[in-house]
Chain A
Amino acid sequence: MLKKANTMRLSLIAVVMVFAFETAQAQTNNGTAGNTPDVSKTVRSVAEALGMARRTNRAGAARLPFIDVINRMEIWGSGTSSDGSRTGLKTEYHVALSYNPPAVRLETTRTSQDGGAAPQHTIQTVRDSYAWNESQPGAGLEPGWGTATPAMAAAKQRLLQLWILPYGVVKAAIAAGDKTKLSTENGVAVITYPLSGPLTGVTVKATLDQKNFVTKVETQGDNPALVVEADYSDYADHGEALSGVQSPGHILQKQGGHPVLDIQIKNWDGANPYLVFPVPENVKKSAAQEPGKAATTKGL
């Protein structure tokens, strides 16, 4: 009788231990950086849908975890945009971006719909909190290679472009930890989180579809320049060489309810191409003369 009781007790303890262990295990598996399990699970689903979370089956690597494989991207498209004073301008759109370090080089060529005025070509660049305009990619880095004009006041607006892209949603939602919330609106999942670093004060709301693609990103904050709305659709692997990274085929950005960018994607290289964003010396000097302008991007 005593033996039977001991066996029963041991079995019960074993079962309780199993449940306790596996519950803890499940929490570890689903909980990244303080997110609740549902939020983490949803963010992971978005990362998997986008082709961000990848593993490999190469020899000796079968047990490696999934990691975020998105760092650098290059995007080409065409459509219409606004230059601040005119809307609906025909636009050739070319973006090079990096999340580590946070950097964007946005090159646009705009012409009026009737083709009357000369094309307007701009290259707007940001790295960390340094922002500048380039006469050509890499301008200002060596003598004879164009000019770099500091544009420190535009840094936050340019950096924001990183974090309203679908991949930025995943990265920033994870970085926000337990401040990231999951809810349901009109039957679809919505993730909300605050940005940090130089974009502290901006809150992002990302709407997902049934396939866990990000279909809409809306920001809120006190600075009107940082309040934008972006719609993403037609997801596919738009790379010339297929990488499995799913990207939108259509981007529509609005500010104040008005379209500021409406682009059809031609090519989206998500396979971490060679893209670099060194800060020209004159831009660093300019930032040093404007204390507080070159704030750290730590936290993003």
Chain B
Amino acid sequence: MGSLRNTLVTLCAMLCLLPAAVAFAQDATPTTPTTATMDRSINVRPKPTGVTPRTPDGHPDLTGLWNGAGGDLGSLPNQMHNDGIAIESQTSSHDVYSGARIATWPVTDRKPIDDTEGERAATLLRRVGSNKPIYRPKYWEMVKELDANANEEDPSNNCMPAGIPRGGPPTYIGQFPSYFIFIYPGEGGLIATQTMYRMIPADGRKHTPLADLDGTYTGEGIAHWEGDTLVVDTWGFNTSTWFDQLGGDFHSENMHVVERFHRDGNELTWTATVDDPDVLLQPWTTTPRIELLNPNPKAILQEVLPCSERELAHAVTKDHH
């Protein structure tokens, strides 16, 4: 009888410990996780691991598949960080650009929320960051209207290319002595965009005069090294893209984009500075985006499904999709 009572007490204790263990696993996540332990309850920059390989000419080797953090558009933790919100723990977040603290409350249950609620929350979450380009005042209403009516106005709708720098950092980088290959796989489903690629010379050539270029989605990019940072300088764009992931950020054909890539072990940090005096009061720099090298050295870039926009025709409200 006594033995049974003891067993029951022990069992009770173990059952009591179970939620605590689960809670600990949820909330005691280190603030600088490694790739292997990266927990999607937070989205702060992970601690880089490994050494930065170098090419025979001494430059950092950026070659690789940079999708180790699930850096696709469907990964909301990444997307929120890209838009400037760093979630450090279940009780602490801040705006990456301004440093302002953001009120944070722990998850209290795992009750799923429906798609509509999730979409509306995502619309707010993606736009809450403070790092916004400053347009000339005569364009303020236009930017707002384009964003509000993105279901109709977004130029990447109907499987068009996202463009540069909206496409973010490339998923694959191939580095060669005198040029780079960047590949940006398209997205089906949530936000359908077309696959893009860029071949970027790094042979010391100069830009073609802007007036002699026919504008394209990815422009004329030319790379050079500044120390260990790869700088890709691009102009010669068409006006059929927005330059930020959200917000109706249109640009002129005179947009000039400077991207910076810096590798630290298994991490790639990417920023883009957009200069377009025709529409912006001042140059604007994206919140730094962090990509992780795919930890599987044998990983390959899989074919993505052909882009097929099937949702827009059914959009009946201005709710973002």
Contacts and interface: CB of A to CB of B under 8 A. Distances in A.
Name the prevailing secondary structure of the B interface residues: mixed
Interface string A4-29: 10011011001101110110010011
Interface string B309-321: 0000000011110
A44 B106 CA distance: 10
Given A4-B3, A56-B113, A241-B148, A28 B91 contact: yes
Given A11-B10, A18-B13, A65 B90 contact: yes
B105 A141 contact: no
A65 B128 contact: no
A65 B86 CA distance: 11
Given A22-B19, A32-B105, A71 B128 contact: yes
Interface stretch (A187-195, A223-231, A271-279): A271-279
Given A21-B20, A61-B76, A271-B127, A54 B121 contact: yes
A102 to B, nearest CB: 10
A244 B135 CA distance: 28
Interface string B245-288: 00110000000000000000000000000000000010000000
A141 to B, nearest CB: 6
A77 interface: no
Greatest chain A CB density within 10 A among B2, B107, B121 is at B121
Contacts of B12: 11, 15
A32 to B, nearest CB: 6
B319 A100 contact: no
Greatest chain A CB density within 10 A among B89, B90, B123 is at B123
B98 A100 contact: yes
A69 B124 contact: yes
A241 B105 contact: no
A243 B140 contact: no
A65 B140 contact: no
B280 to A, nearest CB: 11
Given A63-B26, A141-B281, A69 B128 contact: yes
A142 B281 contact: yes
Contacts of A138: 136-138, 140
B123 A65 contact: no
Contacts of A55: 107, 113, 121
A64 B43 contact: yes
B12 to A, nearest CB: 7
Interface string A126-152: 000000000011110110010000000
B181 to A, nearest CB: 28
Contacts of B319: 241-242
Given A18-B13, A59-B75, A142-B137, A67 B98 contact: no
A68 B42 CA distance: 15
Contacts of B10: 7, 10-11, 14
Interface residues of B, number: 77
Greatest chain B CB density within 10 A among A56, A138, A269 is at A56
A60 B77 contact: yes
A115 B134 CA distance: 38
A66 B98 contact: no
Contacts of B31: none
A240 interface: yes
A100 B104 contact: no
A25 B124 contact: no
B95 interface: yes
Contact of B134 (A17, A62, A276): A276
Contacts, number: 219
B100 interface: yes
A95 interface: no
A252 interface: no
B105 A66 contact: yes
Interface in B102-148: 102-108, 110, 112-113, 117-118, 120-125, 127-130, 132, 134-138, 140, 143-144, 147-148
B93 A65 contact: yes
Contacts of A98: 130
Contact of A53 (B43, B100, B105, B123): B105
Nearest to B26: A63
Given A25-B20, A60-B76, A71-B128, A53 B103 contact: yes
B22 to A, nearest CB: 11
A47 B110 CA distance: 19
B43 A15 contact: no
B70 interface: yes
A273 B98 CA distance: 18
A172 to B, nearest CB: 11
Interface in A85-101: 98, 100-101
B39 A63 contact: yes
B41 interface: yes
B232 interface: no
A125 to B, nearest CB: 12
B87 interface: yes
Contact of A59 (B74, B123, B148): B74
A272 B124 CA distance: 6
Interface of A: 4, 7-8, 10-11, 14-15, 17-19, 21-22, 25, 28-29, 32, 44, 47, 52-72, 74, 98, 100-101, 136-139, 141-142, 145, 170-171, 174-175, 240-245, 269-276, 278
Given A63-B26, A65-B87, A142-B281, 14 more contacts: A11-B12, A15-B13, A18-B16, A22-B23, A60-B74, A60-B75, A63-B39, A66-B104, A67-B125, A138-B137, A171-B103, A242-B120, A273-B127, A276-B134
Nearest 3 pairs between A and B by C-beta?
Answer: A138-B137, A63-B41, A272-B127
